[in-house]
Chains A and B, each alone.
Chain A
Amino acid sequence: MVAIDLTRIAEEIERLERRWASLYREVPSAERAEVRWTASGRTLRWHVCLEDVVEPDIDVEILPRVLVIRARRDTHPESLLLALLPVPSDFDVEQPRLYWEFGYLEVRLSRRSGGGAQQ
């Protein structure tokens, strides 16, 4: 059983979010999508609520230590939903696995081998 240092991950996510916050201002009209994360074992999961995105063509941009998710709502095509998903250094940002279900996008990220968030 691998223990995860959730506090450390939370701190790093918070810090990366501050560092990349300027991306939110790139499209001033963009609406921030609700995001939550969970971590267990070797996986960090981001849950992105893309409400009203019925048939998504979701844009995932991979930047150093952050994923940028963009999608348009079917009900309001002019409205862009935007989410920043910070990725702590011991998780692999380059290989996100994407799952879509009922208006939620789940992004799974695996810990790099030898990653150091374990206690």
Chain B
Amino acid sequence: MSNYYEVLGVSPDASPEEIKKAYRRKAIKYHPDKNPDSPDAEERFKDLSQAFEVLSNPARRREYDAARTGRREGRRASAGPRQPSEAKSWSVEDFLSHFGDIFGSDFGESFHRARPRGRPGFDIETSLDVDFRVAALGGKVRVAVSGEASCPSCDGRGMQGSAAVCPTCGGSGRRTQRTERQGQFYSVTRACPTCQGTGIAPGEQCPACHGRGLTERTRQITITIPEGTGDGTTLRLSGQGGAGTGGVPAGDLLVRIQVRPDPRFHRKANDIYADVSVPVATAALGGEVAVETLHGRAKLKIPPGSSSGKQLRLKGQGIRGGDHIARVLVAVPTRLSKEQRDLFEQLARLTSD
């Protein structure tokens, strides 16, 4: 009698898991279907099956261990293992199905958690006009979005009535096939062909959605515009697109932002440019004027002798810490009173001297 532990390549104190694992590896390697021209492989496979049959059964393993230990101690073994009955004639498919049962936690179905099947929703693209100020400082905008949504009549199932379990897949929504390629084994799991992965037996179509599980709907959603959003930016709202079927995630909503220009402001990166009208006397003598910034009204100091085109900076009044840059436009009065005219004439004489 050969040493079953040696046949499987494990130590005598190997755990049941280790025994299973060792058997799995060697059985695949020496399976007769994989080695059709090797009598040696067939013998090895029989030995493996015999060893596993004994060592995988706790009672028979104890019996075997007792016999083995007894023999080592010079006593005659009183009880030997029984001969395996069927292991020789398994096909690969039989073997694998048996194998799957034995090693359930390692294979195929057990990998998969029950999860709804279907198809992911489509992405929806839309454009949105946003005020300059909202784009610059951020804000919330409500928008109507049209697209596919889960059918409320059938709850997205596409069928009428109560849900019966698919007879083909037993409700798992999957069909697993084992394939062998280049000597390696693959379990390939696809959606069940009968229920298309829903796990629900096909029934009568829902009249509201004609079996699609989806209906076209317009809904209002609130979009948060991040601070500093530029013209042409596309925002992606995950899961706000078209609904998926069978509980599979919805698509994304892609919102292309079009920023409405503001006649008062012009943006360059995070700085805001704006013109400020300064009375001629203030421009000449210096002073303070009120300016409109994105954040509200602010006072701007005009240094004496400021000409048109001079740029004055208000720190931190732009976007995300950027500046507000005011371009001075000296405002010359178009209609002068007599007194103003006299003063300007006096000024003109003084400057020409």
Binding site for B on A (CB under 8 A): 15, 18-20, 26-27, 54-65, 70, 72, 74, 77, 94, 96, 98-100
Contacts of A99 in B (CB 8 A): 181-182
Given contact pairs A19-B120, A26-B113, A77-B21, A64 touches B248 in the complex (Cβ within 8 A): yes
Contacts of A64 in B (CB 8 A): 117-120, 248
CB atoms of B185 and A58 under 8 A apart: yes
CA of A60 to CA of B112, assembled, Å: 10
CA of A97 to CA of B189, assembled, Å: 14
Q: Name the residue of chain B whose CB is nearest to the CB of A66.
A: B120
B102-131 interface bits toward A, Cβ cutoff 8 Å, 1 = contact, 0 = none: 000011100111010111100000000000
CA of A56 to CA of B25, assembled, Å: 9
CA of A20 to CA of B248, assembled, Å: 9
CB atoms of B106 and A61 under 8 A apart: no
Q: Name the residue of chain A whose CB is nearest to the CB of B187.
A: A59
CB atoms of B252 and A15 under 8 A apart: yes
In the complex, given contacts A59-B186, A65-B120, A100-B182, what are 12 additional A-B residue pairs having Cβ atoms less than 8 angstroms apart?
A55-B25, A56-B184, A58-B184, A59-B187, A60-B187, A60-B188, A63-B248, A64-B117, A64-B248, A74-B21, A77-B21, A98-B186
* Residue B233 is within 8 A (CB to CB) of chain A in the complex: no
Chain B contact-residue range equals: 20 to 34
CB atoms of B189 and A62 under 8 A apart: yes
A58, A61, A96, A100: the one contacting B112 at CB < 8 Å is A61
Please report whether the interface of chain A is mostly helix, strand, loop or mixed according to DSSP.
Answer: mixed
CB atoms of B29 and A19 under 8 A apart: no
CB atoms of B184 and A62 under 8 A apart: no
Can you offer 14 A-B residue contacts whose CB atoms are under 8 A?
A18-B238, A20-B249, A26-B113, A55-B29, A57-B106, A59-B107, A60-B187, A62-B191, A70-B111, A72-B106, A74-B21, A99-B181, A99-B182, A100-B184
CA of A74 to CA of B24, assembled, Å: 11
CA of A64 to CA of B188, assembled, Å: 14
Please report whether the interface of chain B is mostly helix, strand, loop or mixed according to DSSP.
Answer: mixed
Contacts of B191 in A (CB 8 A): 62
User: Closest Cβ of chain B: how far from A19's Cβ, in Å?
Assistant: 5
User: Closest Cβ of chain B: how far from A50's Cβ, in Å?
Assistant: 11
Given contact pairs A15-B252, A98-B181, A59 touches B118 in the complex (Cβ within 8 A): no
CA of A88 to CA of B301, assembled, Å: 58
* Residue B17 is within 8 A (CB to CB) of chain A in the complex: yes
* Residue B7 is within 8 A (CB to CB) of chain A in the complex: no
* Residue B62 is within 8 A (CB to CB) of chain A in the complex: no
A20, A57, A65: the one contacting B107 at CB < 8 Å is A57
B10-28 interface bits toward A, Cβ cutoff 8 Å, 1 = contact, 0 = none: 0000000100010011001
CB atoms of A58 and B111 under 8 A apart: no
Contacts of A54 in B (CB 8 A): 25
CA of A60 to CA of B187, assembled, Å: 6
Contacts of A77 in B (CB 8 A): 17, 21, 106
B117, B174, B185, B248: the one contacting A56 at CB < 8 Å is B185
Contacts of A65 in B (CB 8 A): 119-120
Given contact pairs A15-B252, A74-B25, A77-B17, A63 touches B117 in the complex (Cβ within 8 A): yes
Contacts of A70 in B (CB 8 A): 111
Within 8 A of A (CB), among B118-161: 118-120
Given contact pairs A26-B113, A64-B248, A74-B25, A57 touches B119 in the complex (Cβ within 8 A): no
Given contact pairs A77-B17, A77-B21, A100-B182, A19 touches B189 in the complex (Cβ within 8 A): no
Q: Name the residue of chain B whose CB is nearest to the CB of A55.
A: B25
User: Closest Cβ of chain A: how far from B106's Cβ, in Å?
Assistant: 6
Contacts of A27 in B (CB 8 A): 113
Contacts of A56 in B (CB 8 A): 184-185
